[in-house]
Structure 1
């Protein structure tokens, strides 16, 4: 499906389910679930196995033997760890993000463009990982038994800051964001925003079509930084009423303060995990052969523990996310009063993005952050 200019959308009012694309979506969903399982194994094994074999200690003591100050040695080691973990995950990421996406006709990227995006994402991940890892080790050393709540406060503030920074730094790092120039669409969305009571700074378009055939939209940021962002693929392929339905759903998240709810929920979960770790420390450290939480070469073991904790908790987080998404769907229907357009938008998302219409029940319960398409369509009807 070739994207057209955002100012000349197709106004087709029907997109009946294509059985061939539904089969392709089911095949893609099954393949992605297999990749998810392999990814879980890699994400748990990659930090733990080198510790059990002494590799992380060899690296750390090699760095510590250099003339570098202790703090610089710690930073170097953290950068090495996060970069090594990113490289270990690279083959799976390349297969899922490039090979598989091309095989199903979703990706439009060249290998070079994909590699550049991977480098950008890796640099961001290594930077954030090093900052959080360094803050954690420093807090454990400096705050003593109070480490868990001191780090909890710092991490909560950092998470909130990222929400404000994302629209201005992270999104433009990967996409060209421009003000939407289609006067009619801008006026229509502003009217929708006003009816929703969720003012936005501006309405922008992202150049998704350089990377993918998939369509998407979001309302990003908080407060005065909030803006509507629309993929050019959405504007090119969805009718005005369908675009309104998608935007109304995203506005629903902000009217209901879902971003704040998710921030608070994740903070509560993080604090619970930190408190549990502080309580469990006397038992866990000997079990993991760690002399202390501040043992620098043992840092990857802490990453393993964090991965395991969130893996166990993810079904609960995903269930909560599905409830918020369903409520945003109901809000969109109430705001637009056009259930037919909502249904057609869901049908088009299923076809254009190869979203699986009816995934296995276990996958819906354990992995899905959104209700499956058939539930969203049935609810609207």
Structure 2
């Protein structure tokens, strides 16, 4: 079997398995034993709300996934990419990097146009239907425009940088790209709250009072210096709840959704922050960046090998690895490799989440608030309480709600 046939087989395997997992996710876990355990903490209505929200737009999500696969397949397995590069090169009079930028724009725009109706349906129609979204249509248009502009803009910038490295450093690009991704990850972590968050949210320092005092005391107990504590106006857009840390060293910041403060007691908010502190105590962010750098290095070597072998066979329309027309093929290779590697990374993520949960319990010594938080957050977010176990094992980045409650009960 040649490499083209192998890649085609893996491509269709990825499509088939993705659709199978969507079906299993839709089905969930209907075992009577699990149902009985759920009813210790939740009502039948809570279970049904999670099922209904988890199943929302099932056929639309399948159609979206299939269309995205088809678009990628057309760019990879037909002469479209090569002809588009030749056309753009002719129009730009062979100005290479301008051709690269225009190719990225066309490819990204095609994906955006394809996904836009589904983004509207899932992000606006269904979120309103389930009582989460508070956005007007104009709010949604503005927010989506910002997201697309930012995503495409950053994507093109990073893409051009990657192409530059591939073209100029033909022998060492497999070492340069991982180092570059490491530096960019660190830079993005620092700049995200400064440049990205303000584009989408208004936020302000938390008011002086009991909650702030408890947060500061918890951070002091964990020996974590926090620069600022901010409250984000999520309630303007949705009813979802969340909290997170960002930054490094003395520049650490805490962001709380105002919906979290509105829907939870102070002790429950502190419990949520205890979890986030757990991530910092165990250096999960730095570990993730380090592992991501290692993964990028392995990915570069594997993608480079597969590209050269496929090009040698001349069964797919490929030019050089830095050519614009090679971009969709490189994306496909990365997608296939990630398809096989993601279960490993998800299991590591679940382990980190368990460590953070445990740290929250150790810091607060308040398992009652931890459990009530999990129950409220599951209800607030209409979480699926009976997910399919295979889906959880392969693709969930967090433990299930019942797993987290059980750990707290055993604390």
TM-score (norm 2): 0.84
Q: 1:30 aligns with which of 55, 64, 71?
A: 55
Counterpart for residue 387 of structure 2: 359
Counterpart for residue 177 of structure 1: 203
Matches within 5 A, 1:31-110: 31=56, 38-67=63-92, 69-110=95-136
Question: 1:103-150: CA deviations, max 9, x gaps?
Answer: 221111122211211111111111121122112211111111222112
The verdict on how the C-alpha distance between 1:57 and 1:280 changes in structure 2, with shifts beyond 3 A counting, is: closer
> Which ranges in structure 1 are unaligned for 5 or more consecutive residues?
1-14
Matches within 5 A, 1:106-121: 106-121=132-147
Report the CA distance between 1:330 and its aligned residue: 0.5
1:332 and 1:179 map into 2 onto residues whose CA distance is 23
Report the CA distance between 1:62 and its aligned residue: 2.6
Q: Which moved more, 1:104-113 or 1:364-373?
A: 104-113
Matches within 5 A, 1:178-327: 178-285=204-311, 286-327=314-355
Question: 1:288-341: CA deviations, max 9, x gaps?
Answer: 331221221221221222222222211111111000001100000010000000
The verdict on how the C-alpha distance between 1:95 and 1:312 changes in structure 2, with shifts beyond 3 A counting, is: farther
Question: 1:166-194: CA deviations, max 9, x gaps?
Answer: 11111111111211114221111000111
2:60 and 2:281 map into 1 onto residues whose CA distance is 35
Counterpart for residue 44 of structure 2: 19
Q: Which moved more, 1:93-102 or 1:362-371?
A: 93-102
Report the CA distance between 1:39 and its aligned residue: 4.9
2:338 and 2:47 map into 1 onto residues whose CA distance is 31
Q: Secondary structure at the match of 2:187?
A: helix
Counterpart for residue 328 of structure 1: 356
2:361 and 2:67 map into 1 onto residues whose CA distance is 41
Report the CA distance between 1:351 and its aligned residue: 0.6
The verdict on how the C-alpha distance between 1:67 and 1:82 changes in structure 2, with shifts beyond 3 A counting, is: closer
1:33 and 1:227 map into 2 onto residues whose CA distance is 37
Contact conserved, 2:226 with 2:252, CA < 8 A, in 1?
yes
1:44 and 1:157 map into 2 onto residues whose CA distance is 31
Verify: 1:370 aligned to 2:398, yes or no.
yes
TM-score (norm 1): 0.91
Contact conserved, 2:303 with 2:334, CA < 8 A, in 1?
no
Contact conserved, 2:178 with 2:294, CA < 8 A, in 1?
no
Q: Secondary structure at the match of 2:204?
A: strand
Verify: 1:347 aligned to 2:372, yes or no.
no
The verdict on how the C-alpha distance between 1:263 and 1:34 changes in structure 2, with shifts beyond 3 A counting, is: farther
Report the CA distance between 1:76 and its aligned residue: 2.1
Counterpart for residue 164 of structure 1: 190
Q: Secondary structure at the match of 1:145?
A: coil
Q: Which moved more, 1:137-146 or 1:202-211?
A: 137-146
Question: 1:37-96: CA deviations, max 9, x gaps?
Answer: 555444433233134343333433232222463322221222222222222222222222
- Indicate the RMSD between aligned Cα atoms, in angstroms: 2.0
> Which ranges in structure 2 are unaligned for 5 or more consecutive residues?
1-39
